[in-house]
């Protein structure tokens, strides 16, 4: 009986167990089916993202070459148009257009001044109307090129986001596969082990679904075409130094895309340019009240808060603004970040060296100066000169805003002058045993974007290596600026006749300063009045 | 309890499923369970069919994906060729524009010299006038030589100008750019007809089809899941609903999505 009773009790228990097991397996089967469908859905999303990435890659590549060819045409036509002005200027040196009195003397005939003026006017008219394409059309070409370039950058941003999405979906799928394994594995393990395996599996699956949802909801960066067009117009206006037009264009762009980086840093530059018309050419800060600094800084802050701290161009503009403002700690951090993202930016190293001088760290300044010089070898002489001129100008800002470091700034200027002089004369300098030397400015005038200079000097040995570094004060109270063209390094010049050079300026120099270096040593520094202030 | 019947709460008969019970000797005999059940081979067969269909869709999506990648490359390749032509045309145009400015300045110089010669001749200084005219002629010849070298004018155009005395111009950048571009695109060794946008549009179209096929494959998977439920469920209602859902999803996808996407 006992055994019969046992059998009759075990039978229902086994059957009940089997029913429970059967139900469990069906539930697991349904969960697995749902997870498979979910996985397939995520796989479709991943494929969509990969597909979109392919499309944006294609478009980015096409836009890149389109932008390049448009830029070639725009720059070429712009250069040809600028030749018109040069040709008209060159009429001054053609005999037929020379002064009637001089022409009379040369040809031995009487020249009717009115007829001579008519000849000149007709010639100018002929050259000036050489192109049926007017300036507006050339500007339009440049804007098209700039817009294509901006569009390409925006497409690249979209491509990067699609790439990130596709890759994240793949990670989700891999994680979901683990969840599927955990849930499915419970079918072959004992009941007691099932909960600690199945529960994490189900939670992991739920997490994956949520994760996929988050990835899906992440927006793809898009830039409104109107904002791109307005920014392109602003960039061209900026390059043509039309500050107010540029500011207006960038503002239009920011109305539809408030966080658009090129428009933000473009407007910051345009704001600086509006009150410092030569700042992008000679780094001349003529707005001594620094009224532009605050609005420009506001735009730059918005840019930095919206990804600008990862954008080399935004960082470079921020570095320039902070350096010119004499905000040395902020300038140091910004330039360091900019160098991290663009280690080819030679200006950045020179600015950084000057900032180190301002902060009183001569070793660090030397380090950054060496870094800059290491990158000089591929550059031609004029470009190097421009860079060193910028460096001198920033060192002048350092001297003006941080008098404690003025001596250090002078030493670093002297060092750079010596290097340039050595490179020019092709020998090591010999600073020992210098006799007293004096420099006098005989003539320093500015008119029609032309500077005429004449010096006299005394006490310089004939075989000495000299350098004359010219500085301009672009407005009363403004810091000295070292324009690239006002620099001579080499053998002792014959002097006497002086030089006349083309120096286009919006702000006429109100004062000049000339530093004379002999064998790399600063031996004299003289100032001379300039012309009436225009800024 | 030993005949493997449905567990408590579950039933395989229609009566059980809706709670009613067949009763009464006069009523027609209830259909047997086997008669009401779908053929045993049907659902597994459909699962196999749908799976094979999904496989075919995946294969086709792969094929089209490869085609769209090819179309992308064609589009990019043709864009590069086209833009290379534009760059060459742009450089040539800029060079010619520069040459035209120089030519124009030299022509203006020559005209002024001729006018000055006329002024000298008016004063009876024929020697000075002759010298000035000679210099004007020399200036013109130099200008023409440079203009020909820069490609600003062809030799025949210069001949025409010399004969008629008319200076061609002004220089139309857009027109010259278009003609330079056309010259680059129509030469016997040119790259032929380029239409990168058409390839790009085609790639987009192909990708849309791939996308539809992927979604169709997902729908097939849903149909497989539905058929699996139809096969495994114990409740008849569940089985029939799942069977119907599977059929609708499968047939709907085949009819509505696949023809356009394939």
Residue A469: strand pairing partners: A487, A515
- Nearest chain B residue to A20 by CA: give it: B7
> What's the CA gap between B103 and B143, in Å, rounded?
5
- Does a structural domain hold residue A505? yes
Least CB–CB distance from A107: residue in B105, B128, B203: B128
- Does a structural domain hold residue A458? yes
- Does a structural domain hold residue A422? no
Q: Hey, are the CB atoms on B228 and A77 less than 8 Å from each other?
A: no
Instruction: List Cβ neighbours of B34 (8 Å cut-off, separation of 6 or more).
Output: none
Sign of the CA dihedral with A278 first, then A284, A286, and A290 last: positive
Q: Hey, are the CB atoms on A94 and B109 less than 8 Å from each other?
A: yes
* Substitution target from A119, A136, A180 for chain B, most B beta carbons within 10 A: A119
pLDDT digits (tens, 9 = 90+) for A59-109: 999 999 999 989 988 888 888 888 888 888 888 888 888 888 888 888 888
**Residue B30: band (very low, low, confident or very high) from pLDDT cuts 50, 70, 90:** very low
Q: Would you say residue A434 has pLDDT above 90?
A: no
Q: What residue ranges in A380-497 does DSSP mark as E strands?
A: 438-447, 450-458, 465-473, 487-491
3-class secondary structure, A451? strand
- Does a structural domain hold residue B209? yes
8 A C-beta contact, residue B143 and residue B167: no
- Nearest chain B residue to A100 by CA: give it: B116
- Does a structural domain hold residue A74? no
Nearest to A410 by CA among A456, A352, A469, A463: A469
Polymer length of chain B: 262
8 A C-beta contact, residue B218 and residue B226: no
- Does a structural domain hold residue B196? yes
Over residues B137-159, the mean pLDDT reads 84
Q: Which residues of A touch B94 (CB under 8 A)?
A: 72-73, 75-77, 79-80
Nearest to A532 by CA among A503, A495, A500, A507: A507
> What's the CA gap between A103 and B113, in Å, rounded?
12
Please report which residue ranges of A283-361 form alpha helices under DSSP H. 293-305, 312-324, 328-341, 346-358
Q: How high is the pLDDT of residue B205?
A: 93
Q: Hey, are the CB atoms on A115 and B196 less than 8 Å from each other?
A: no
Q: How high is the pLDDT of residue A496?
A: 60
Nearest to A282 by CA among A454, A473, A426: A473
Nearest to A253 by CA among A239, A263, A242, A262: A263
Report angle CA A169, B205, B53 to the nearest 5 degrees: 65
Q: Is A364 exposed, middle or buried (0-12, 13-18, 19+ CB in 10 A)?
A: middle
Residue that wins the pLDDT comparison between A62 and B189: A62
Least CB–CB distance from A47: residue in B120, B214, B233: B214
A-B contacts at Cβ under 8 angstroms: 192
Residue A472: strand pairing partners: A481, A512
**Nearest-neighbour CA in chain A from B35: distance (Å):** 25
- Nearest chain B residue to A69 by CA: give it: B87
> What's the CA gap between A61 and A51, in Å, rounded?
15
Q: Would you say residue B15 has pLDDT above 60?
A: no
**Residue A177: band (very low, low, confident or very high) from pLDDT cuts 50, 70, 90:** very high
Side-chain half-sphere CA neighbours of A475 within 13 A: 17
Residue A452: strand pairing partners: A445, A500
Nearest to A438 by CA among A455, A418, A417, A419: A455
Q: How high is the pLDDT of residue A286?
A: 86
Angle between helices A113-128 and A2-90 (to 10 degrees): 160
Report angle CA A282, A288, A290 to the nearest 5 degrees: 95
Q: Which residues of B touch A120 (CB under 8 A)?
A: 112
Residue that wins the pLDDT comparison between B27 and A56: A56
Q: Which residues of A touch B124 (CB under 8 A)?
A: none
Which range of A72-76, A200-204, B228-232 scores highest in mean pLDDT? It is A200-204
Q: Would you say residue B3 has pLDDT above 50?
A: no
Q: How high is the pLDDT of residue A9?
A: 54
**Residue B37: band (very low, low, confident or very high) from pLDDT cuts 50, 70, 90:** low
3-class secondary structure, A344? coil
Q: Hey, are the CB atoms on A131 and B232 less than 8 Å from each other?
A: no
Q: How high is the pLDDT of residue A502?
A: 84
- Does a structural domain hold residue B26? no
3-class secondary structure, A447? strand
Q: Hey, are the CB atoms on B101 and A127 less than 8 Å from each other?
A: yes
Which helix (DSSP H) or strand (DSSP E) does residue A270 occupy?
helix A261-275
Q: Hey, are the CB atoms on A108 and B204 less than 8 Å from each other?
A: no
B70 in A contact zone (CB under 8 Å): no
Domain around A485:
438-529
Polymer length of chain A: 535
What is the number of structural domains in chain A?
1
Q: Would you say residue A363 has pLDDT above 90?
A: yes
Over residues A266-276, the mean pLDDT reads 92
- Does a structural domain hold residue A494? yes
Over residues A521-533, the mean pLDDT reads 92
| Residue A509, token pair as written in the block | 């120099």
Q: Hey, are the CB atoms on A77 and B169 less than 8 Å from each other?
A: no
Q: Would you say residue B19 has pLDDT above 50?
A: no
Q: Hey, are the CB atoms on B173 and A115 less than 8 Å from each other?
A: no
Q: Is A92 exposed, middle or buried (0-12, 13-18, 19+ CB in 10 A)?
A: exposed
What is the number of structural domains in chain B?
1
pLDDT digits (tens, 9 = 90+) for B75-108: 999 999 989 888 888 888 888 888 888 888 998 9
pLDDT digits (tens, 9 = 90+) for A391-425: 999 999 999 999 999 999 999 999 999 988 988 88
Q: Would you say residue A1 has pLDDT above 80?
A: no
Q: Hey, are the CB atoms on A36 and B225 less than 8 Å from each other?
A: yes
Q: How high is the pLDDT of residue A10?
A: 56
- Does a structural domain hold residue A518? yes
Q: How high is the pLDDT of residue B24?
A: 39
Residue A481: strand pairing partners: A472
8 A C-beta contact, residue A324 and residue A397: yes
Q: Would you say residue A353 has pLDDT above 90?
A: yes
Over residues A479-486, the mean pLDDT reads 93
DSSP string for A198-241: HHHHHHHHHHHHHHHHHHHHSPPP---HHHHHHHHHHHHHHHTT
Q: How high is the pLDDT of residue B252?
A: 93
DSSP string for A456-477: EEES--TT-EEEEEEEEE-STT
| Percentage of residues of chain A with pLDDT beyond 90 | 54
Q: For chain B, what is the HEC assignment?
A: CCCCCCCCCCCCCHHHHHCCCCCCCCCCCCCCHHHHCCCCCHHHHHHHHHHHHHHHHHHHHHHHHHHHHHHHHHHHHHHHHHHHHHHHHHHHHHHHHHHHHHHHHHHHHHHHHHHHHHHHHHCCCHHHHHHHHHHHHHHHHHHHHHHHHCCCCCHHHHHHHHHHCCCCCCECHHHHHHHHHHHHHHCCCCCCCCCHHHHHHHHHHHHHHHHHHHHHHHHHHHHHHHHHHHHHCCCHHHHHHHHHHHHHHHHHHHHHHHHHHC
3-class secondary structure, A284? coil
Q: How high is the pLDDT of residue A469?
A: 94
Q: How many helices (DSSP H) and strands (DSSP E) are in chain A?
A: 16, 7
Q: Which residues of B touch A117 (CB under 8 A)?
A: none
Over residues B37-46, the mean pLDDT reads 83
Q: How far is CA B118 from CA A378, B59, B112, B123, B126, in A?
A: 55, 86, 10, 9, 9
- Does a structural domain hold residue B23? no
8 A C-beta contact, residue B242 and residue B226: yes
* Substitution target from A16, A92, A133, A140 for chain B, most B beta carbons within 10 A: A133
Q: How high is the pLDDT of residue B76?
A: 92
Q: How high is the pLDDT of residue B32?
A: 46
Q: Hey, are the CB atoms on A80 and B111 less than 8 Å from each other?
A: no
- Does a structural domain hold residue B17? no
CATH number, domain of A508, equals 2.60.40.730
Among A207-211, B5-9, B109-113, B239-243, the least confident range: B5-9
Which helix (DSSP H) or strand (DSSP E) does residue A245 occupy?
helix A243-256
Cis peptide before A63 (omega within 30 of 0): no
- Does a structural domain hold residue B32? no
- Nearest chain A residue to B125 by CA: give it: A109
How far is Cα of residue B118 from the mean position of the Cα atoms in its chain? 65
Q: Would you say residue A3 has pLDDT above 70?
A: no
> What's the CA gap between B72 and B196, in Å, rounded?
9
- The interface residues of chain B toward chain A in range 134-163, judged by CB-CB distance below 8 A, are none
B245 in A contact zone (CB under 8 Å): no
Residue that wins the pLDDT comparison between A20 and A247: A247
Nearest to A405 by CA among A320, A326, A484, A521: A326
Q: Hey, are the CB atoms on A66 and B115 less than 8 Å from each other?
A: no
- Nearest chain B residue to A89 by CA: give it: B105
pLDDT digits (tens, 9 = 90+) for A6-54: 445 556 667 777 888 888 888 898 888 889 889 989 998 998 999 899 9
Among A127-131, A285-289, B86-90, B100-104, the least confident range: A285-289
Least CB–CB distance from B107: residue in A77, A79, A126: A126
Among A92-101, A247-256, A364-373, B104-113, the least confident range: A92-101
8 A C-beta contact, residue A514 and residue A470: yes
Q: Which residues of B touch A57 (CB under 8 A)?
A: 72
Q: Which residues of B touch A37 (CB under 8 A)?
A: 218, 221-222, 225
3-class secondary structure, A508? coil
Over residues A113-137, the mean pLDDT reads 86
Least CB–CB distance from B215: residue in A23, A44, A131: A44
> What's the CA gap between A63 and A60, in Å, rounded?
5
Q: Which residues of B touch A145 (CB under 8 A)?
A: none
- Nearest chain B residue to A22 by CA: give it: B7
Q: Hey, are the CB atoms on B94 and A62 less than 8 Å from each other?
A: no
- Does a structural domain hold residue B116? yes
Q: Are strands A511-518 and A521-529 parallel, antiparallel or unpaired?
A: antiparallel
Residue in this structure with the two tokens 């860079």, named with its chain if needed: A387
Q: What is the CA radius of gyration of chain A?
A: 36
8 A C-beta contact, residue A74 and residue A133: no
| Residue A50, token pair as written in the block | 């990969």
Domain around B196:
42-261
> What's the CA gap between A463 and B49, in Å, rounded?
98
Residue that wins the pLDDT comparison between B258 and B54: B54
Q: Which residues of A touch B75 (CB under 8 A)?
A: 58, 62
8 A C-beta contact, residue B227 and residue B46: yes
* Substitution target from B55, B65, B68, B97 for chain A, most A beta carbons within 10 A: B97
Q: How high is the pLDDT of residue B1?
A: 35
| Percentage of residues of chain B with pLDDT beyond 70 | 84
- Does a structural domain hold residue A421? no
Q: How high is the pLDDT of residue B258?
A: 80
- Nearest chain B residue to A135 by CA: give it: B173
Q: What one-character DSSP code corresponds to residue A510? A: S
Q: Hey, are the CB atoms on A130 and B125 less than 8 Å from each other?
A: no
3-class secondary structure, A449? coil
Q: Would you say residue A345 has pLDDT above 90?
A: no
Nearest to A413 by CA among A382, A372, A369, A383: A369
Q: How high is the pLDDT of residue A230?
A: 97
B130 in A contact zone (CB under 8 Å): no
Q: Is B191 exposed, middle or buried (0-12, 13-18, 19+ CB in 10 A)?
A: middle
Q: What one-character DSSP code corresponds to residue A192? A: G
- Does a structural domain hold residue A217? no
């Amino acid at each position: 009986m006992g055994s019969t009773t046992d059998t009759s009790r075990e039978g229902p228990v086994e059957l009940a167990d089997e029913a429970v097991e059967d139900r469990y397996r069906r539930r697991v089967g349904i969960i697995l089916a749902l997870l498979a469908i979910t996985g397939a859905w995520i796989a479709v999303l991943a494929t969509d993202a990969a597909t979109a990435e392919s499309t944006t890659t294609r478009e980015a590549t096409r836009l890149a070459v389109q932008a390049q060819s448009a830029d070639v045409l725009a720059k070429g036509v712009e250069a040809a148009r600028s030749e018109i002005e040069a040709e008209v200027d060159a009429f001054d040196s053609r005999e037929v257009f020379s002064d009637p009195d001089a022409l009379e003397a040369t040809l031995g005939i009487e020249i009717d001044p009115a007829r001579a003026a008519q000849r000149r006017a007709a010639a100018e008219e002929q050259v000036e109307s050489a192109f049926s394409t007017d300036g507006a059309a050339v500007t339009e070409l440049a804007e098209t090129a700039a817009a294509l370039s901006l569009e390409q950058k925006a497409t690249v941003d979209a491509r990067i986001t699609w790439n990130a999405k596709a890759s994240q979906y793949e990670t989700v799928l891999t994680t979901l596969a683990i969840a599927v394994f955990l849930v499915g594995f419970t079918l072959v393990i004992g009941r007691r082990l099932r909960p600690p395996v199945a529960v994490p599996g189900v939670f992991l699956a739920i997490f994956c679904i949520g994760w996929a949802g988050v990835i899906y909801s992440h927006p793809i960066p898009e830039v409104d075409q109107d904002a791109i067009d307005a920014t392109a117009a602003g960039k061209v206006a900026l390059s043509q130094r039309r500050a107010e037009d540029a500011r207006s264009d960038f503002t239009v762009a920011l109305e539809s895309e408030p966080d658009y980086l090129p428009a933000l840093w473009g407007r910051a530059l345009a704001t600086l340019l509006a009150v410092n018309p030569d700042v992008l050419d000679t780094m001349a800060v003529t707005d001594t009240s620094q009224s532009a600094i605050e609005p420009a800084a506001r735009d730059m802050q918005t840019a930095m808060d919206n990804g600008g701290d990862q954008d080399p161009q935004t960082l470079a503009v921020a570095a320039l603004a902070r350096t010119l403002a004499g905000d040395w700690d902020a300038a140091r951090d910004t330039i360091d970040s900019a160098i991290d993202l663009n280690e080819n930016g030679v200006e950045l190293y020179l600015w950084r060296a000057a900032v180190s001088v301002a902060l009183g760290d001569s070793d660090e300044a030397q380090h950054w100066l060496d870094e800059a010089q290491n990158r000089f070898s591929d550059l031609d002489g004029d470009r190097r000169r421009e860079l060193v001129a910028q460096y001198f100008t920033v060192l002048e800002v350092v001297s003006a805003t941080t008098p404690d470091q003025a001596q250090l700034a002078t030493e670093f200027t002297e060092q750079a002058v010596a290097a340039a002089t050595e490179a020019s004369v092709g020998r090591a300098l010999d600073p020992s045993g210098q006799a007293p030397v004096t420099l006098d400015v005989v003539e320093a005038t500015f008119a029609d974007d032309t500077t005429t200079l004449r010096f006299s000097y005394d006490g310089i040995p004939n075989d000495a290596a000299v350098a004359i570094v010219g500085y301009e004060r672009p407005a009363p109270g403004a810091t000295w600026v070292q324009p690239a063209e006002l620099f001579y390094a080499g053998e002792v010049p014959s002097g006497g006749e002086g030089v006349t050079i083309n120096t286009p300026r919006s702000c006429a120099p109100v004062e000049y300063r000339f530093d004379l270096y002999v064998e790399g040593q600063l031996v004299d520094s003289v100032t001379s009045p300039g012309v009436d202030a225009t800024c | 309890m030993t005949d493997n019947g449905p567990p408590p709460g579950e039933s395989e008969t229609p009566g059980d499923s809706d709670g009613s019970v067949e009763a009464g000797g006069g009523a027609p005999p209830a259909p047997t369970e086997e008669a009401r059940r779908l053929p045993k081979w049907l659902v597994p067969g459909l699962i196999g069919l749908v799976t094979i269909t999904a496989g075919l869709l995946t294969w086709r999506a792969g094929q089209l994906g490869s085609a769209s990648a090819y179309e992308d490359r064609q589009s990019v390749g043709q864009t590069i060729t086209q833009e290379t032509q534009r760059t060459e045309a742009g450089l040539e145009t800029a060079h010619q524009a520069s040459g035209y400015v120089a030519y124009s300045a030299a022509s203006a110089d020559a005209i002024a010299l001729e006018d000055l010669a006329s002024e000298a001749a008016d004063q009876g200084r024929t020697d000075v006038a002759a010298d000035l005219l000679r210099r004007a002629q020399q200036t013109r010849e130099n200008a023409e030589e440079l203009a020909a070298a820069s490609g600003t004018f062809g030799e025949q155009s210069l001949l025409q100008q010399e004969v008629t005395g008319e200076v061609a111009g002004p220089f139309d950048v857009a027109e010259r750019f278009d003609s330079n571009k056309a010259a680059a695109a129509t030469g016997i060794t040119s790259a032929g007809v380029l239409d990168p946008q058409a390839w790009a549009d085609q790639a987009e179209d192909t990708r849309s089809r791939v996308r539809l096929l992927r979604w169709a494959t997902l729908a097939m998977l849903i149909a497989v899941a539905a058929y699996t439920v139809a096969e495994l469920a114990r409740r008849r209602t569940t089985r029939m609903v799942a069977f119907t859902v599977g059929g609708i999803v499968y047939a709907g996808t085949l009819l509505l999505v696949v023809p356009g996407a394939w």
